[in-house]
Amino acid sequence: MRIPLLIGNWKMNKGPSETAELVEGLLAALEGISGVDVGIAPPFVSLHAAKGALVRPPMVLLGAQNCHWAESGAFTGEISPSMLAECGCSFAILGHSERRQFFGENDSGVSKRAHALLKAGMVPVVCVGETLDEREAGAHLEVVEKQLTASLEGIEAGSLGRVVIAYEPVWAIGTGKTASPEQAQQMHEHIRKILIKLGGAAVADGIRILYGGSVTPDNAAILLKQPDIDGALVGGASLDAQKFASIVRFSV
Protein backbone atom coordinates (compact mmCIF):
# COMPACT_ATOMS: atom_id res chain seq x y z
CA MET A 1 0.00 0.00 0.00
CA ARG A 2 1.52 3.27 -1.10
CA ILE A 3 0.54 6.32 0.96
CA PRO A 4 -0.40 9.13 -1.45
CA LEU A 5 2.03 12.05 -1.61
CA LEU A 6 1.08 15.56 -2.72
CA ILE A 7 3.80 18.16 -3.15
CA GLY A 8 3.31 21.85 -3.84
CA ASN A 9 6.05 23.29 -6.04
CA TRP A 10 5.86 27.00 -5.36
CA LYS A 11 8.47 27.81 -8.04
CA MET A 12 9.72 31.44 -7.78
CA ASN A 13 6.70 32.62 -5.80
CA LYS A 14 6.19 33.72 -2.20
CA GLY A 15 8.93 35.51 -0.29
CA PRO A 16 9.31 34.96 3.47
CA SER A 17 6.38 37.11 4.62
CA GLU A 18 3.91 35.72 2.09
CA THR A 19 5.17 32.22 2.91
CA ALA A 20 4.13 32.41 6.55
CA GLU A 21 0.66 33.51 5.45
CA LEU A 22 0.25 30.72 2.88
CA VAL A 23 1.48 28.06 5.31
CA GLU A 24 -1.00 29.25 7.95
CA GLY A 25 -3.81 29.03 5.41
CA LEU A 26 -2.66 25.62 4.25
CA LEU A 27 -2.52 24.13 7.74
CA ALA A 28 -6.06 25.38 8.38
CA ALA A 29 -7.30 24.02 5.05
CA LEU A 30 -5.68 20.61 5.61
CA GLU A 31 -7.14 20.13 9.06
CA GLY A 32 -8.92 16.80 9.47
CA ILE A 33 -7.34 15.18 6.38
CA SER A 34 -5.34 12.04 7.15
CA GLY A 35 -3.81 9.07 5.36
CA VAL A 36 -1.77 11.22 2.97
CA ASP A 37 1.70 12.80 2.99
CA VAL A 38 1.78 16.48 2.05
CA GLY A 39 4.88 18.53 1.21
CA ILE A 40 5.68 22.04 0.09
CA ALA A 41 8.74 23.32 -1.76
CA PRO A 42 9.01 27.10 -1.32
CA PRO A 43 11.93 29.15 -2.70
CA PHE A 44 15.22 28.73 -0.76
CA VAL A 45 14.93 32.13 0.94
CA SER A 46 11.49 31.24 2.28
CA LEU A 47 12.41 27.88 3.84
CA HIS A 48 13.15 29.42 7.21
CA ALA A 49 9.79 31.22 7.30
CA ALA A 50 8.02 28.04 6.22
CA LYS A 51 9.71 25.99 8.92
CA GLY A 52 8.77 28.63 11.50
CA ALA A 53 5.12 28.48 10.43
CA LEU A 54 4.91 24.66 10.23
CA VAL A 55 4.81 24.36 13.98
CA ARG A 56 1.47 22.69 14.53
CA PRO A 57 -0.32 19.68 13.04
CA PRO A 58 -1.20 18.56 10.44
CA MET A 59 2.31 17.54 9.59
CA VAL A 60 3.54 19.03 6.30
CA LEU A 61 6.94 18.09 4.88
CA LEU A 62 9.32 20.81 3.79
CA GLY A 63 11.46 20.51 0.68
CA ALA A 64 13.56 22.48 -1.80
CA GLN A 65 13.21 22.95 -5.53
CA ASN A 66 16.78 21.91 -6.31
CA CYS A 67 20.18 21.33 -4.68
CA HIS A 68 23.83 20.91 -5.53
CA TRP A 69 25.62 17.56 -5.27
CA ALA A 70 28.66 18.77 -3.33
CA GLU A 71 28.77 19.08 0.43
CA SER A 72 30.31 22.59 0.33
CA GLY A 73 32.87 24.56 -1.68
CA ALA A 74 33.36 26.96 -4.55
CA PHE A 75 29.94 26.69 -6.20
CA THR A 76 28.61 30.24 -6.18
CA GLY A 77 24.85 30.42 -5.90
CA GLU A 78 24.37 26.78 -4.97
CA ILE A 79 22.98 25.06 -1.85
CA SER A 80 23.99 21.63 -0.54
CA PRO A 81 21.75 18.83 0.76
CA SER A 82 23.11 19.14 4.30
CA MET A 83 22.33 22.89 4.31
CA LEU A 84 18.79 22.08 3.23
CA ALA A 85 18.47 19.43 5.93
CA GLU A 86 19.58 22.02 8.47
CA CYS A 87 16.74 24.27 7.23
CA GLY A 88 14.24 21.49 7.92
CA CYS A 89 14.00 19.99 4.43
CA SER A 90 13.43 16.29 4.01
CA PHE A 91 13.23 16.23 0.21
CA ALA A 92 14.26 18.17 -2.89
CA ILE A 93 12.75 18.28 -6.37
CA LEU A 94 15.34 17.36 -9.03
CA GLY A 95 15.40 17.76 -12.79
CA HIS A 96 12.22 19.81 -13.06
CA SER A 97 11.64 20.61 -16.73
CA GLU A 98 12.07 24.33 -16.01
CA ARG A 99 15.56 23.57 -14.62
CA ARG A 100 16.31 21.45 -17.69
CA GLN A 101 14.89 24.04 -20.13
CA PHE A 102 16.21 27.30 -18.66
CA PHE A 103 19.30 26.26 -16.67
CA GLY A 104 20.79 23.48 -18.76
CA GLU A 105 20.33 20.69 -16.22
CA ASN A 106 20.57 17.16 -17.50
CA ASP A 107 20.15 13.56 -16.39
CA SER A 108 23.73 13.15 -15.25
CA GLY A 109 23.41 16.20 -12.97
CA VAL A 110 20.13 14.84 -11.64
CA SER A 111 21.83 11.53 -10.86
CA LYS A 112 24.67 13.27 -8.96
CA ARG A 113 22.15 15.33 -6.99
CA ALA A 114 20.02 12.26 -6.23
CA HIS A 115 23.05 10.40 -4.84
CA ALA A 116 23.97 13.41 -2.68
CA LEU A 117 20.44 13.73 -1.29
CA LEU A 118 20.24 10.04 -0.45
CA LYS A 119 23.62 10.25 1.28
CA ALA A 120 22.26 13.13 3.38
CA GLY A 121 19.23 11.01 4.36
CA MET A 122 16.86 13.03 2.19
CA VAL A 123 14.36 12.10 -0.51
CA PRO A 124 15.04 12.99 -4.16
CA VAL A 125 11.86 13.77 -6.13
CA VAL A 126 13.10 13.01 -9.64
CA CYS A 127 11.14 14.66 -12.47
CA VAL A 128 10.89 13.18 -15.94
CA GLY A 129 8.66 13.96 -18.90
CA GLU A 130 8.52 14.36 -22.64
CA THR A 131 7.99 17.47 -24.76
CA LEU A 132 5.03 17.85 -27.10
CA ASP A 133 7.21 17.13 -30.15
CA GLU A 134 8.45 13.92 -28.56
CA ARG A 135 4.90 12.80 -27.75
CA GLU A 136 3.66 13.66 -31.23
CA ALA A 137 6.54 11.67 -32.70
CA GLY A 138 5.47 8.68 -30.60
CA ALA A 139 8.78 8.75 -28.71
CA HIS A 140 7.42 9.57 -25.23
CA LEU A 141 7.88 6.13 -23.67
CA GLU A 142 11.43 5.83 -24.92
CA VAL A 143 12.34 9.41 -23.90
CA VAL A 144 11.09 8.90 -20.34
CA GLU A 145 12.84 5.52 -20.07
CA LYS A 146 16.15 7.14 -21.05
CA GLN A 147 15.67 10.06 -18.64
CA LEU A 148 14.69 7.83 -15.76
CA THR A 149 17.44 5.27 -16.25
CA ALA A 150 20.14 7.94 -16.54
CA SER A 151 18.77 10.01 -13.66
CA LEU A 152 18.78 7.01 -11.33
CA GLU A 153 22.10 5.60 -12.50
CA GLY A 154 24.11 3.82 -9.84
CA ILE A 155 21.41 3.98 -7.17
CA GLU A 156 21.25 0.58 -5.52
CA ALA A 157 17.96 -1.20 -4.88
CA GLY A 158 18.31 -0.55 -1.14
CA SER A 159 18.27 3.22 -1.69
CA LEU A 160 16.03 3.27 -4.75
CA GLY A 161 13.02 2.58 -2.55
CA ARG A 162 13.46 6.01 -0.95
CA VAL A 163 13.21 7.89 -4.24
CA VAL A 164 10.00 9.54 -5.47
CA ILE A 165 9.38 9.92 -9.21
CA ALA A 166 7.32 12.72 -10.73
CA TYR A 167 6.05 12.26 -14.28
CA GLU A 168 5.50 15.73 -15.69
CA PRO A 169 4.80 15.97 -19.42
CA VAL A 170 6.49 19.25 -20.38
CA TRP A 171 3.52 20.23 -22.54
CA ALA A 172 1.22 20.06 -19.51
CA ILE A 173 3.23 22.20 -17.08
CA GLY A 174 1.68 25.60 -16.46
CA THR A 175 -0.25 25.38 -19.74
CA GLY A 176 -3.68 24.36 -18.48
CA LYS A 177 -3.38 21.20 -20.61
CA THR A 178 -3.43 17.97 -18.63
CA ALA A 179 -2.53 14.47 -19.74
CA SER A 180 -5.68 12.38 -19.97
CA PRO A 181 -6.03 9.83 -17.15
CA GLU A 182 -5.28 7.10 -19.74
CA GLN A 183 -2.13 8.85 -21.01
CA ALA A 184 -0.92 9.43 -17.46
CA GLN A 185 -1.68 5.88 -16.29
CA GLN A 186 0.06 4.40 -19.35
CA MET A 187 3.22 6.36 -18.55
CA HIS A 188 3.10 5.62 -14.82
CA GLU A 189 2.74 1.90 -15.54
CA HIS A 190 5.68 2.15 -17.93
CA ILE A 191 7.74 3.92 -15.25
CA ARG A 192 6.85 1.21 -12.71
CA LYS A 193 8.10 -1.45 -15.17
CA ILE A 194 11.39 0.43 -15.59
CA LEU A 195 11.70 0.63 -11.79
CA ILE A 196 11.19 -3.15 -11.62
CA LYS A 197 14.13 -3.56 -14.00
CA LEU A 198 16.24 -1.23 -11.88
CA GLY A 199 15.38 -2.40 -8.39
CA GLY A 200 13.15 -5.47 -8.51
CA ALA A 201 9.40 -5.85 -8.07
CA ALA A 202 9.22 -5.36 -4.31
CA VAL A 203 11.15 -2.08 -4.42
CA ALA A 204 9.26 -0.78 -7.46
CA ASP A 205 5.95 -1.59 -5.85
CA GLY A 206 6.74 0.73 -2.93
CA ILE A 207 7.94 3.71 -4.99
CA ARG A 208 5.56 6.62 -5.28
CA ILE A 209 5.08 7.99 -8.79
CA LEU A 210 3.48 11.44 -8.82
CA TYR A 211 1.75 13.08 -11.76
CA GLY A 212 2.41 16.76 -12.48
CA GLY A 213 1.08 19.14 -15.11
CA SER A 214 -1.78 21.58 -14.56
CA VAL A 215 -3.37 19.56 -11.76
CA THR A 216 -6.36 21.42 -10.32
CA PRO A 217 -9.34 20.51 -8.12
CA ASP A 218 -11.27 19.97 -11.38
CA ASN A 219 -9.09 17.20 -12.80
CA ALA A 220 -7.39 15.75 -9.68
CA ALA A 221 -10.02 13.17 -8.76
CA ILE A 222 -9.86 11.16 -11.97
CA LEU A 223 -6.07 11.38 -12.25
CA LEU A 224 -5.52 10.31 -8.65
CA LYS A 225 -7.84 7.32 -9.09
CA GLN A 226 -5.47 5.68 -11.57
CA PRO A 227 -3.75 2.61 -10.10
CA ASP A 228 -0.17 3.78 -10.70
CA ILE A 229 -0.69 7.45 -9.84
CA ASP A 230 0.35 7.81 -6.22
CA GLY A 231 -0.05 11.54 -5.82
CA ALA A 232 0.73 14.79 -7.56
CA LEU A 233 3.36 17.47 -7.95
CA VAL A 234 1.30 20.64 -8.12
CA GLY A 235 2.59 24.01 -9.33
CA GLY A 236 0.12 26.86 -9.84
CA ALA A 237 -2.74 25.42 -7.78
CA SER A 238 -0.46 24.89 -4.76
CA LEU A 239 -0.25 28.67 -4.29
CA ASP A 240 -3.88 28.68 -3.21
CA ALA A 241 -4.38 26.90 0.13
CA GLN A 242 -8.00 25.95 -0.57
CA LYS A 243 -7.28 24.58 -4.05
CA PHE A 244 -4.25 22.61 -2.88
CA ALA A 245 -6.18 21.16 0.06
CA SER A 246 -9.03 20.11 -2.26
CA ILE A 247 -6.51 18.28 -4.46
CA VAL A 248 -5.06 16.60 -1.37
CA ARG A 249 -8.56 15.53 -0.33
CA PHE A 250 -9.09 13.75 -3.68
CA SER A 251 -6.08 11.52 -3.00
CA VAL A 252 -7.54 9.79 0.06
**Contact set with ligand PEP (CB under 6 A):** 9, 11, 168, 173-174, 212-215, 233-236
Please report, as a single letter, which amino acid is at residue 83: M
Q: List all residues 6 or more positions away from 53 whose beta carbon is below 8 Å from its beta carbon.
A: 19, 20, 23, 24, 27
Residue 136 appears among annotated catalytic residues: no
Closest residue to ligand PEP: CB criterion = 235
Which of these is catalytic: 68, 96, 115, 188?
96
- Residue tagged active-site, from 98, 130, 134, 168: 168
Displacement of CA 161 from its chain's centroid (Å): 15
Q: List Cβ neighbours of 73 (8 Å cut-off, separation of 6 or more).
A: none
Q: Are 88 and 51 in contact (CB under 8 A)?
A: yes
- Closer to ligand PEP by CB, 32 or 102: give it: 102
CB of 231 to ligand PEP, least distance (A): 12
Query: Cα–Cα distance between 178 and 171 in angstroms, integer?
Result: 8
The distance of closest approach from Cβ of residue 196 to ligand PEP in the complex, given in angstroms and rounded to an integer, is 25
Burial of 113 (0-12, 13-18, 19+ CB in 10 A): buried
Taking the least distance from each CB to ligand PEP, the nearer of 199 and 213 is 213
Closest to ligand PEP by CB, 81 vs 235, is 235
Determine whether 168 is an active site residue.
yes
Closer Cβ to ligand PEP, 52 or 174, answer by number: 174
Cα distance between residue 182 and residue 63, in whole Å: 30
CB of 1 to ligand PEP, least distance (A): 25
Minimum Å gap between C-beta 10 and ligand PEP is: 9
- Which residues are designated catalytic? 96, 168
